[in-house]
Structure 1
Amino acid sequence: MFAKLHRTSLSLSLGLLLAGSSAGAMAANAVPAVDTGAAPANQMVHVTLVLKLRNQAALENFIKQTVTPGNPNYQQFLTTSQFAAQYGATDDAIARVQSVLKQQGISSEVLPSHLAIRTSGSLSQYNRLFQTSVHNYVSRENGHSFHKPTSSPQIPSAIADVVDVASGLSNELTYRPHHISSSAFTSLGTQLPKTHALASSTGGSNGNPTATGVPGEYTVGDVANFYDINPLYKHGVVGKGSTVAIVTLSNFYPADAETYWSDIGLATKPNRITQVHVDGGGAIDGGSGETSIDVEQSGGIAPFANILVYDAPNAGNGYVDAFAQAVSDNIADSISTSWGLPEIFNFAALNVAGASNTDTSDAGDLRAFHAIFLEAAAQGQSLFAASGDSGAYDTVRDLGAGTAPGDYTAPLTVDSPASDPFITAAGGTTTPYSYAFGTGPTESISQESVWGWDYIQNYFNTYIGPNVINLFSVGGGGGVSVYWHKPFYQDFTSGVRRSEPKQSLVYNDPSAGPTTLLQLPSHFSGRNVPDVALNADPETGYIYVSTYDGGLNAGEGGTSFVAPQLNGITALLRQSTGHRIGLWNPQIYAIQNFFGYGRFSAFNSVRAGDNWFYYGAPHYNPGAGIGSLDVTNLDVFLRSGF
């Protein structure tokens, strides 16, 4: 077991919280980057063509049937070849696309799902194919170098009926890992002593033997205690026969996961990690700790499940390719990711020269992810994505927020790919604990609450001084999509919201004054996120091991812990039920809508706290979704066909 770490200081430096967008470079229409001229014509790049689905309405209906008890297609999931035959592009259509590519000298590889074609060629070849010109740019904000087309790429008319999205011509946007630390407020110039006292009896010797019972030093054993997983373990349900996959954008050291499991005293299946390096794989870099977290958490919750790690470069089409590979391989029963960026960063208003600031059409990869997620659902693969760590204002971690020249406003926004209706969005809570900072008194959170650090902000303002530090808007991501319409499974869900009015992304240009970059739709009946939530507050957070991050780390949190935990939970449910679980969302909303909360419920209502805008409630709320889990009860519902 790890020695106790006894943390004595809180949270995140302001520089880390509100630094510019090194992990989510803003589109050029926000702060115009410096055009340094045409990119070299002979530069080789990779572009993925995502193909249009056949019979998409029938596909979506089939997916509903696979997760509807009593339907003849209940749990009748497709193989990859069956998906290709029924819903992928036809052989003739693919041949036509490959012929056009060959005429330009571009090589191609078709995924077995017939959903995408990976291509490779020079920029001059792609410039001709898409009737555009790719230039190099340097960001005025942070010096980030990238290339992208100077005009919107045009799909050739000969294949426009087949090709939906061309992903990878731009490598401007990069994704952010959704974990966050609790370390020291360096901007205060001093450390703030803190004491912890556990306000519940679920840790250490009272439950799972691998638990610590110490907030900020929790393990997967504490997760088992919090969310009633231990009865499954006692019945031998440990993930045997299941495979989980991680889609990530950084490479990692697999030995870190083995060290974590070994040091908390967790017995695991040996030699169970397989790495799949997509497009050359991700780098060992600042995101490596994220990959370690994902593997340690998913594999720790399901200690005898196999683990596939699909890592790709954090640029261009890397993220799309990693997901497409994981789904097309169709080995994993469940897949999670802990990376994302604001949904609005995909909109034409922020990406297409001359686009109206009200244009919320997709000029990014929203449609590409959606097609891949539909395939996963048809194949019975459960998908999970972290909903973000910037509360109800998802752009703040990427862009900051303020009113001074060079600042952006902070509209209510959600994270992608978590906002897609065919993935389960993982939100965050704060579990009960007591705390004190500096010379202030001890205060407590007495019930599981929506995670938002305004409770710490209020404490600081009261006992340390107003506006000494700004924590806005750290918390569990949640809100209303303004791209994806409300899905069928939220139609009868109490608490689902529409988008708020008067939400705009405005840049306070130092020379031109306030410039409205995007006006978001008001009262849009959109998909609400998250769907479910588990403990994610770094103050009640976790330990993890990452060689890149210096070994053992404590006081870590973020919704990036929740997504892989749900992944591991799914592996347990897969073993217990004897079949893949499929898309969670229609099933969990149906269970909650019919059976509500109570002693035998699969869900715990999260009635307290907020994520800076949306408050906990005794029903669905865009802070914690339908609540946190009682995994043993959820297992009973799924095994009974509810």
Structure 2
Amino acid sequence: MSKKQSRATVPGSARAAFNGAKAVGPVPADERFEVTVRVRRKAALTSQSAKGFDADVLPAKRTYLTQEQYSAAHGADPGDIAKVEAFARANGLVVVESSAPRRSVFLSGTAAQFATAFGTAIEHYAHDGGTYRGRVGELTVPDDLEGIVEGVFGIDDRPVARPHFQIRPGASGVAARAAGASFTPPQLAQLYEFPAGADGTGQCIGIIELGGGFKPADIRAYFHELKLPVPHVVAIGVDGGKNAPSTPNGPDGEVMLDIEVAAAIAPKAKIAVYFAPNTNKGFLDAVTRALHDTTNTPSVISISWGGPEKNWAGQDMTAFNQAFQTAAAMGVTVCCAAGDNGSGDGAGDGKQHVDFPASSPFALGCGGTKLVAAGGAISAETVWNEDPTSSATGGGVSDFFPVPAYQANAGVPPSKNPGGHTGRGVPDVAGDADPATGYAVRVDGQEFVIGGTSAVAPLWAGLIALMNQKIGHRVGFLNPLIYGSVAGTGSFRDITSGDNGAYSAKAGWDPCTGWGSPVGTKLLSALGG
């Protein structure tokens, strides 16, 4: 009788059932799907291996790793990939592709094969929002893969994120708008003093989307109405995702908001939209695809999808955070919306939660304000909070990530949850997000005013594309700079009025609007432009 092979737990792989979900029966043994296995780095990323993390080095003096340099020094080791491939084949799984830069082995197989390979039971779960293929508990791998396998994504296909946008009821869109009550992106760029004489030439803005699509005719019509050049927009499918427009109240609203805001700020930048399924595998694969896209090479990435940290597995948050660290090493800024459901982030448990992936220490978390303007100038700007549970900026204190070094002196408060845990503070920056003072956009042939922190991430992505162009060098990982040398330079409009439920605005950084909204020309100057 052969000895049973000993196995190791995949760190952070434990999953609980979705809120209110009940197991309703096993997934058919022969049901086929794909899984991504995340493999460890060849060598750790440090400030010595890449100068993209330095708090005291302005962007023009930073040195970043090229995609090729990153892959050679910090991608997955071919030997580790070979071990994962051998393990997969021994379990009857098909190796679809392996990527050392993305540190990923993509596998195809049946539910029965994956259940055996990773030591889990795979069942269908029903909940108020529908059904999903899921699992509970931890995953395991053979002992000889311990430390090599850092995550397994795709066995569970529950939706992991929601788009952070809100349509203002009865709004009249681009053509006819109440003065000072909504804005086109160029109007906001003027109010926020974005640098003149730049249009994003030479930059690529990557946008991650987990559903929906765009119609080129809408983009042409919108930019003709704004009297701006029609941007170059390309769609990249990931894991079977594609540009699939449906209805304006669905994900199309998110897709068009992201494209139109980013491109109206930087109309000569290429816009690369990565479409993927709304699963942990799809989301992560879209991010790594964008970072290692040798054709489009985004210099900034905008992400307007997310969810409460409590809904993510530890391996998920670790893998995304490492991917964003890779972005920092390569000089790619990652802008993430901070959420639209106040300090509870819509978790529904009466506790306070921050939105992930905005809570990653390597993300630029983007919170929301309510902006009022008159005579071409800002007359008032406060924390966005129309309803603290359903229409307010996210923000607060991470339960997963510790306080990063750059926030050591920012005054991040203890969490308002029992125990008063102190962690990464969210957001870092802010911008107009209230649907009542939102963005005039076009979606599926109709004109709307849309708000939400979803708009703030592409707003900042557009600004970063302009600053990259003006400086002639990627600004990259901004967080250490805005908490360091940029602080006190007048680069932000400090928002000191309002709250998002549990947390209140104050002078300086706060867990509602971070440092505040941008003063673009001063920020450019402080960054050496």
Please give the TM-score of this superposition, normalised by the length of structure 2: 0.89
Matched, 1:528 2:425: yes
Matched with 1:265 is: 227
Matched with 1:371 is: 322
Q: Give the drift of 1:82.
A: 1.4
Matched with 2:521 is: 632
- Classify the secondary structure of the residue corresponding to 2:272: strand
Q: Structure 1 residues 552 and 71 mapped into 2: Cα distance closer, same or farther (>3 Å)?
A: closer
Amino acid at match of 1:538: P
Q: Structure 1 residues 70 and 544 mapped into 2: Cα distance closer, same or farther (>3 Å)?
A: closer
Matched, 1:165 2:156: no
TM alignment of 1:426-505, pairs within 5 A? 426-432=366-372, 447-454=380-387, 472-493=389-410, 495-502=411-418
610-619 or 59-68, which moves further after superposition?
Answer: 59-68
Q: Which has the larger radius of gyration?
A: 1
- Classify the secondary structure of the residue corresponding to 1:266: coil
Q: Structure 1 residues 487 and 46 mapped into 2: Cα distance closer, same or farther (>3 Å)?
A: same
Specify every segment of 5 or more residues in structure 2 that has no aligned partner in the other structure, as ranges. Answer: 1-14
Q: Structure 1 residues 384 and 29 mapped into 2: Cα distance closer, same or farther (>3 Å)?
A: closer
Amino acid at match of 1:258: R
For the 8 Å contact 2:59–2:475, the answer to whether it is kept is no
Amino acid at match of 1:31: G
2:306 to 340, 365, 371: 340
Matched, 1:553 2:448: yes
Specify every segment of 5 or more residues in structure 1 that has no aligned partner in the other structure, as ranges. Answer: 1-25, 185-193, 197-203, 205-209, 348-361, 400-408, 435-444, 455-470, 503-521
Identity %: 32
**CA–CA distance in structure 2, aligned partners of residues 309 and 337 of structure 1:** 11
The CA deviation string for residues 1-35 of structure 1, in whole angstroms up to 9 with x for no partner, is xxxxxxxxxxxxxxxxxxxxxxxxx95264241x2
- Classify the secondary structure of the residue corresponding to 1:98: helix
**CA–CA distance in structure 2, aligned partners of residues 264 and 72 of structure 1:** 32
Q: Give the drift of 1:622.
A: 0.5
Matched with 1:89 is: 76
Matched, 1:220 2:136: no
The CA deviation string for residues 530-576 of structure 1, in whole angstroms up to 9 with x for no partner, is 000001001111121111xx52112x100000001111111101110
**CA–CA distance in structure 2, aligned partners of residues 215 and 448 of structure 1:** 12
TM alignment of 1:312-391, pairs within 5 A? 312-329=276-293, 331-347=297-313, 362=314, 365-391=316-342
For the 8 Å contact 2:102–2:288, the answer to whether it is kept is no
Q: Give the drift of 1:151.
A: 4.1
- Classify the secondary structure of the residue corresponding to 2:521: helix
Matched, 1:582 2:522: no
TM alignment of 1:178-217, pairs within 5 A? 178-183=164-169, 214-217=179-182
- Classify the secondary structure of the residue corresponding to 1:482: coil
For the 8 Å contact 2:51–2:64, the answer to whether it is kept is no
Matched with 2:113 is: 125
Amino acid at match of 1:609: G
Matched with 1:28 is: 17
TM alignment of 1:501-520, pairs within 5 A? 501-502=417-418
Q: Structure 1 residues 589 and 306 mapped into 2: Cα distance closer, same or farther (>3 Å)?
A: same
For the 8 Å contact 1:66–1:76, the answer to whether it is kept is no
Amino acid at match of 1:452: N
Q: Structure 1 residues 628 and 211 mapped into 2: Cα distance closer, same or farther (>3 Å)?
A: farther
Q: Give the drift of 1:138.
A: 1.6
**CA–CA distance in structure 2, aligned partners of residues 372 and 482 of structure 1:** 20
**CA–CA distance in structure 1, aligned partners of residues 389 and 326 of structure 2:** 37
1:290 to 254, 266, 269: 254
Q: Structure 1 residues 218 and 114 mapped into 2: Cα distance closer, same or farther (>3 Å)?
A: closer
For the 8 Å contact 1:216–1:543, the answer to whether it is kept is no
Q: Give the drift of 1:447.
A: 2.1
TM alignment of 1:532-543, pairs within 5 A? 532-543=429-440
Q: Give the drift of 1:62.
A: 4.4
**CA–CA distance in structure 2, aligned partners of residues 183 and 370 of structure 1:** 36
Q: Structure 1 residues 63 and 488 mapped into 2: Cα distance closer, same or farther (>3 Å)?
A: farther
1:115 to 103, 108, 113: 103
Q: Give the drift of 1:169.
A: 0.6
Q: Give the drift of 1:219.
A: 0.5
Q: Structure 1 residues 60 and 172 mapped into 2: Cα distance closer, same or farther (>3 Å)?
A: farther
The CA deviation string for residues 29-79 of structure 1, in whole angstroms up to 9 with x for no partner, is 64241x2322112211111111223443x4366456554455999421112
Please give the TM-score of this superposition, normalised by the length of structure 1: 0.74
Matched with 1:621 is: 510
The CA deviation string for residues 394-417 of structure 1, in whole angstroms up to 9 with x for no partner, is 025xx4xxxxxxxxx321111011
**CA–CA distance in structure 1, aligned partners of residues 21 and 57 of structure 2:** 55
Amino acid at match of 1:552: E
For the 8 Å contact 2:51–2:63, the answer to whether it is kept is no
Q: Give the drift of 1:172.
A: 1.9
**CA–CA distance in structure 2, aligned partners of residues 613 and 473 of structure 1:** 14
2:214 to 253, 259, 264: 253
278-287 or 531-540, which moves further after superposition?
Answer: 278-287
For the 8 Å contact 1:68–1:74, the answer to whether it is kept is no
For the 8 Å contact 2:59–2:528, the answer to whether it is kept is no
**CA–CA distance in structure 2, aligned partners of residues 63 and 626 of structure 1:** 26
For the 8 Å contact 1:66–1:77, the answer to whether it is kept is no
For the 8 Å contact 2:29–2:111, the answer to whether it is kept is yes
**CA–CA distance in structure 2, aligned partners of residues 301 and 29 of structure 1:** 38
Q: Structure 1 residues 306 and 213 mapped into 2: Cα distance closer, same or farther (>3 Å)?
A: farther
Matched, 1:276 2:256: no
Q: Structure 1 residues 254 and 111 mapped into 2: Cα distance closer, same or farther (>3 Å)?
A: farther
Q: Give the drift of 1:213.
A: 7.5
- Classify the secondary structure of the residue corresponding to 1:432: strand
**CA–CA distance in structure 1, aligned partners of residues 507 and 57 of structure 2:** 30
- Classify the secondary structure of the residue corresponding to 2:70: helix
Amino acid at match of 1:569: L
Q: Structure 1 residues 371 and 572 mapped into 2: Cα distance closer, same or farther (>3 Å)?
A: same
Matched with 1:350 is: none
Q: Give the drift of 1:329.
A: 1.4
Amino acid at match of 1:488: A
Matched with 1:354 is: none
- Classify the secondary structure of the residue corresponding to 1:365: helix
Matched with 1:103 is: 90
**CA–CA distance in structure 2, aligned partners of residues 182 and 288 of structure 1:** 15
Matched with 1:403 is: none
